[in-house]
Structure 1
Amino acid sequence: MVNENDAEASFVPMSSAPDKWLRKEHLPHIWCPGCGIGTILRQVIEQFTKLGWKNDDVVFVTGIGCTGRASGYVNAQTLHTIHGRALPTATGIKMARPDMHVVAMLGDGDGVGIGGNHFIHAAKRNIGVTAIVVNNRIYGMTGGQVSPTTPQGSKSTTTPYGNVEPSMDVCKLALGAGATFVARVHTANPVYVGQIIGRALQHDGFAVVEVLSQCPTYFGRFNGMPDPVQMLQWFKENTFMAKSPEDEKEGKIPIGVFKDDKTTPELSKSYRNLWEA
């Protein structure tokens, strides 16, 4: 079993993935200095390369938000959908073209806030889509508003005195709704991020990888961590390897692979088996 420490010890130089998987004419990107989304996207396209996938065989879907901009940079079949609707779009694509590798990259607000109901039903259906949820714990693009995953007590533009609501746990939601691969990682260890995304991409069913990511511009600046390095250090100091999101250790956040079910039928295959019968 791969763990975070193994990932740190087995660093491998980056490949030439950007040459194949990025639309260089659209670079440089528009993300803020220190944002974690670029780190995550790099790991995604590294895995595309390692798996030997072809550009025309990958559908990369995003919604609205900072993360939504990623589809403009990826050299594949891409869709930039409306807010919260990346997963139903991805579901339709997978049902129509089960031979395609369908990947949805979501923000926390886009994925489990505005798109929360779609997230639940994609998990329940076990559609063969990989959902990469970039959790920066705030609405970054629209002005730093509180999001479903903003920790209780944290400040935002709409909670200047601290968030009074409990935060939503993306992995617990995914598990409760029926996702068959569920994991949480963080951007302070990008190699481990890549390894887990690689496993999720190969999973035959609905796979969720929550990536804790830094947003120094809004979350960090409002909560005493304006330097992205501070946020990365916070991830290292406040997470631990676990087997379940229910595990507890001094109030720290559990990370790791929480579920990898290879037995539950994937939706598009179940439909085709029904037709053939």
Structure 2
Amino acid sequence: MSKANTTVAPSGEELVFTRPASLVDRPTHYCPGCHHGIAHRLVAELLDEMGVIENTIAVASIGCSVFLYNYIDADGVESPHGRAPAVATGVKRARPDKFVFTYQGDGDLASIGMAEIIHAANRGERISVVFINNTVYGMTGGQMAPTTLIGQKTTTCPAGRCLEREGAPIRMAEIIAHLGGTAFCARGSLDSVKNIRQAKKYMRQAFEVQAKGFGFGFVELLSGCPTNWRMTPVAANKRIADEMIPYFPLGVYRDVVADGTCGSMVAGGE
């Protein structure tokens, strides 16, 4: 909980859960049960708690993630589809004093943006990435994404994704963790209070490795898309727990601070 979450109401009662200062006070346009709103709140809480909001530049790509600028009270840049890591790289290199992060979905980052995310991580760019994995293209109507699970039905694979025809769903956290410039990589989930709290801890670590100059930070968040999954929000949360987490295991995949190699990351940087 951010420091901005404790205040006193006009009645004199202490309010212990309020809107983070960096989260814009406006109605959400996201569908009922969508987890983007939870992810936005976690981002805002961390920017407040770390004291970097005034020095932040957010970069969002095409997709549901692009509307980040409507909700986070920070300077922002919109990038072409999949190119957020490349844009963020340019911003960070031009203004190394800024805190720079990207906010991207799986239809963006893991598909048309695969080259950009791979090479940004491999170079060890001093940026942080928040990756929303809801196993579907959300904004464009529910098409199959690189992360769509085997058997999952979408508008472009109505009979369900087939391993022989479309290949296996891509596990991005595992890929990013093995690249030389990655300083922190983890996967969390937004399906339960327990997992949301843990996801925030992972996000903080991904942000802190940038702030400390250690390298590239990446956090994947398993999220629900009830509208395109044709499910209720409750059923969508259950699907994350029963189907997504077994295939996309939660946890830390790389942490140079914990394994004691952060010194070499700094030494090898620009």
TM bin (shorter chain): 0.7 to 0.9
| Alpha-carbon displacement from aligned partner over 1:191-228 (angstroms, at most 9, x marks no partner) | 1111111111101311110000000010x21xxxx011
Give the aligned partner of residue 191 of structure 1.
197
Residue 117 in structure 1 maps to residue 115 in structure 2: yes
Q: In 2, Cα distance between the equivalents of 1:169 and 1:158?
A: 20
Q: In 1, Cα distance between the equivalents of 2:3 and 2:22?
A: 17
Give the aligned partner of residue 14 of structure 2.
none
Q: In 1, Cα distance between the equivalents of 2:109 and 2:60?
A: 10
Count of aligned pairs: 242
| Alpha-carbon displacement from aligned partner over 1:112-161 (angstroms, at most 9, x marks no partner) | 11111000000110111110100011000011111111112211000001
TM-score under structure 2 normalisation?
A: 0.83
Residues 46 and 194 of structure 1 are in contact (CA less than 8 Å); yes or no, is this contact kept in structure 2?
no
Task: Name the SS of the counterpart of 1:258 in structure 2.
Answer: strand
Offset of residue 258 of structure 1: 1.2
Distance 1:239-1:148 versus aligned 2 partners, 3 A rule: closer
Structure 1 portions without partners, runs of 5+: 1-10, 241-250, 272-277
Give me the CA root mean square deviation.
Answer: 2.2
Matches for 1:1-277 after TM superposition, within 5 Å: 15=5, 18=19, 20-24=21-25, 27-53=26-52, 55-164=53-162, 165=166, 166-178=168-180, 179-188=182-191, 189-203=195-209, 204-218=214-228, 220-221=229-230, 226-238=231-243, 252-261=247-256, 262-265=262-265, 270-271=269-270
Task: Name the SS of the counterpart of 1:141 in structure 2.
Answer: coil
Answer 1 or 2: higher relative contact order, Cα 8 Å, separation at least 6.
1
Q: Percent identity?
A: 34
Q: In 2, Cα distance between the equivalents of 1:81 and 1:137?
A: 22
Task: Name the SS of the counterpart of 1:133 in structure 2.
Answer: strand
| Alpha-carbon displacement from aligned partner over 1:37-89 (angstroms, at most 9, x marks no partner) | 10011011111111122x33011110000111112321111112111111101
Structure 2 portions without partners, runs of 5+: 7-17, 257-261
Runs of 4 or more, structure 1, over 6 Å off, are: 11-14
Q: In 2, Cα distance between the equivalents of 1:67 and 1:231?
A: 19
